[in-house]
Structure 1
Amino acid sequence: MQGRNMTRWRDPKKDPRQEKKSNLITPQGFDRLQGIHDHLSRVKRPQLSAKVGEAAALGDRSENADYTYNKKELNRVIARIRYLRKRLDELQVVDRLPADTGKVYFGANVTLEDDNGEELSVRLVGHDETDTGKHWISIDAPLARALLGKALDDDVVVAAPGGETHYVVTDIHYTNHDHQ
């Protein structure tokens, strides 16, 4: 039987979705999540509630596509608001630089060079801020874990699906929290 709740069994001990995520976040990431929460709460939810009310007033709800669509969308927005409210309470904002800025810690911008001489620049951010387009990786990612505590010219070995990847740390810097 196929269905949306039918998935293959995964061992909970080995399932990456079950791993505990860190609750660290940059001030900018926290502000962004807070802004999304506020927009959904103050703008989107009232708009959808009004649309649902208008569609419900038209009569038969069982054949009213406008009502059905807006009701589903409203429930999705309410669930997202609830998730964000809970998540914002759990997060710990990291708003100061580490004592040793010569090593890789949360919030660091790191430039790496692989064995072929190709450069890769990443920023270590919280789970909620990851952005592949900007090369912002989660502090929980295997590469980020391998980088933590490393200094300039340190070798980094990362286990990848295609085998181990070797990097050398060529630059570490931290972005000014006020001007990002």
Structure 2
Amino acid sequence: MSQVPMTVAGERALREELKHLKSVERPRITKAIAEAREHGDLKENAEYHAAREQQGFCEGRIQEIEGKLAVVRVIDIAQIPYTGRVVFGATVTVINCDTDEELTYRIVGEDEANVKVGKISVTSPIARALIGKEEGDVVVVAAPGGSIEYEIDKVEHIAE
């Protein structure tokens, strides 16, 4: 499997979630299963079945995170020399050429993407159009509603 890019903050968040799942959630679920077993007949014990279902979700998420961390390639934007070119981890301010609307995005890994906070996946159409371009360049993004032209106003390397 090839390496998956991720920012420093993204990797830190995954490690924190993994630690929480292993040190807090797993023991809590194990305790809930033990308590439910004490109530007798497991066939009709809703608490037991609910706890087992939670256990399945928890263990699945632990495996998923461990799998991601095994193939992640952490990219620290603060360590990349600034060139004015859009790269993974950069924060990019663009201006919609039709509406003059200014938008700012940070280009992150797929697991970190959250458009509401301005983080877009490196695999998104707008990020793919921006990568490799420089301040002042105009890019065309194929969107569901048609093509949108953006001018790259500013490229920043903001440390996390």
Name the TM-score class by shorter chain.
over 0.9
What displacement does 1:45 show?
A: 0.5
Q: What 5-or-longer segments of structure 1 have no aligned partner?
A: 1-19
Q: Is the 8 A contact 1:21 1:140 kept in 2?
A: no
Q: Equivalents in 2 of 1:52, 1:88: separation in Å? A: 29
Counterparts of 2:105 and 2:2 in 1: how far apart (Å)?
A: 19
| TM-score of the aligned structures, taking structure 2 as reference length | 0.93
Distance 1:50 1:125 in 2: 37
Partner of 2:21: 40
Tell me, yes or no, if structure 1 residue 106 matches structure 2 residue 88. yes
**Greater per-residue helix proportion:** 2
Give the equivalent residue in structure 2 for 1:148: 131
Deviation at 1:62, TM superposition (A): 1.5
Task: State the 1:99 CA deviation.
Answer: 3.4
Percent sequence identity is 36
Number of residue-to-residue matches in the alignment: 158
Aligned AA (2:90): A
After TM superposition, the structure 1 = structure 2 runs for residues 67-106 of structure 1, keeping only pairs within 5 Å, are: 67-95=48-76, 96-106=78-88
User: Which consecutive unaligned segments of at least 5 residues does structure 2 have?
Assistant: none
TM value normalised by structure 1:
0.83
- For the Cα contact (< 8 Å) 2:87–2:131, is it kept in 1? yes
Distance across 2 between alignment mates of 1:32 and 1:158: 30
In the TM superposition, residue 126 of structure 1 has moved relative to its aligned partner by 0.8
Q: Which runs of 4+ in 1 moved over 6 A?
A: none
